[in-house]
Amino acid sequence: MTTGVRRRMGVEERRQQLIGVALDLFSHRSPDDVSIDEIAAAAGISRPLVYHYFPGKLSLYEAALRRAAEDLAERFVEPHEGPLGARLLRVMGRFLSFVDEHGPGFSALMRGGPAVGSSTTNALIDSVRQAAYVQILTHLGITDPPARLELVVRSWISLAESTALIWLDGRRIPRAELELQLVHDFAALAAVSAAYDTEMAELLRAILSEEPPDGPFTDLITRLAALTS
């Protein structure tokens, strides 16, 4: 007969375990409703031991948000192959998958949760938005965007964020439809800007020239044309 021996975790390993446990709990319930006692029980340790690794719930919450922010930022990374519309659709698929899996945690990340207004939380939110912004510009092959393009990309990122938060309240629109709609939103914002600016018009023409007949941007053009027929 053998008996199991619990392996003693190192400091960093234990910290990472607690962050993972907290993030899992925060993903299913509001962080305000999750206690240190619950986190300790889920991790299989005592409450005082949690405080040994984190001085308080806020520091653990911020560490969990940092991991979530890094994960979310990675969802915008996409190989630069194929037409832009298909790439953005894959990105939105991963983005809404994260939102779907981490509903309360995503809401807490974007709204600040128990750390609302803290410089740490604000910096994490800004880092996700900036990572998404840089990735979209990279897909467009542009390093120094003109003012109108910056406005389009940053507005679209804010739109995707607010749309996801609204969608979480009931998930009344099928996720696949919402992913496509968000890609259409990008094209629509770009088209409105192109109507005012020749540089944006040239960029949009270049994007559409690579769009296949079954691409999401072509789908939007077809839907809009049907409205005027």
Per the CB < 8 A criterion, the answer to whether 192 and 151 are in contact is no
Per the CB < 8 A criterion, the answer to whether 54 and 48 are in contact is no
In this model, does residue 38 exceed pLDDT 70?
yes
Average model confidence (pLDDT) for the chain? Answer: 88
Residue 7 per-residue DSSP state: P
d(C-alpha 63, C-alpha 52), whole Å? 15
Per the CB < 8 A criterion, the answer to whether 53 and 14 are in contact is yes
Q: What is the mean pLDDT of residues 190-194?
A: 97
Q: Model's pTM, two decimal places?
A: 0.84
Least reliable range by pLDDT among 23-27, 40-44, 180-184: 23-27
Of 101 and 119, the structure prediction assigns the larger pLDDT to 101
Confidence of residue 202 (pLDDT cuts 50, 70, 90): very high
pLDDT at 3: 44
> CA 65, 169, 116 angle in degrees (round to 5)?
35
Confidence of residue 132 (pLDDT cuts 50, 70, 90): very high
pLDDT at 26: 81
Tens digit of each residue's pLDDT (9 = 90 or more) over 61-86: 888 888 888 888 899 999 988 999 99
pLDDT at 66: 86
In this model, does residue 159 exceed pLDDT 90?
yes
Of 9 and 4, the structure prediction assigns the larger pLDDT to 9
In this model, does residue 2 exceed pLDDT 60?
no
Residue 95 per-residue DSSP state: H
